[in-house]
Amino acid sequence: MRIQWMTAGLLLAILVSGLVTGAAAEEVVPPVAAEKGVRGLANIGLGVAVEVPKAAYYGTLEDGPLYGLTVGVLEGLSWGIARTLVGIYEVVTFPFPIPEGYRPIYTPSYPYERGRTDVAD
């Protein structure tokens, strides 16, 4: 748990230093870039913790409790790991408009938003 907080603090420091460096160079970071960085931090911090119960919940609703508590948990674990890795990618690349227009890679954009996680179009 302590390592996660240290990692989150380090990533936040990197994010802030990137914003300060961009402002010092007289380049204004677009608000959507900052949103991408915040989205990345949310995905890093909450990816697995939110995706596992969320996938179990939706699996239970759609296919029953046995499916939700077995396959749903495994799906949530895989989506959570993937979302955490995408969060790292978004934090590292937040100043750059990739994917085009700073679009989120997953839908919903944040792990705590309603709906099943899927790859964005």
Residue 106 burial (CB count, 10 A): 21
Confidence of residue 23 (pLDDT cuts 50, 70, 90): very low
Least confident segment among 3-12, 71-80, 100-109: 3-12
Asked if omega into 95 is within 30° of 0 (cis), the reply is no
pLDDT at 1: 63
Backbone Cα Rg of the chain: 16
Confidence of residue 6 (pLDDT cuts 50, 70, 90): low
CB 51 within 8 A of CB 106: no
CA distance 115 to 11: 27
53-77: average pLDDT: 95
* Chain centroid offset of residue 35 CA: 11
Task: Give the mean pLDDT of the chain.
Answer: 86
45-58: average pLDDT: 95
Examine the pLDDT at 5 and tell me if it is beyond 90.
no
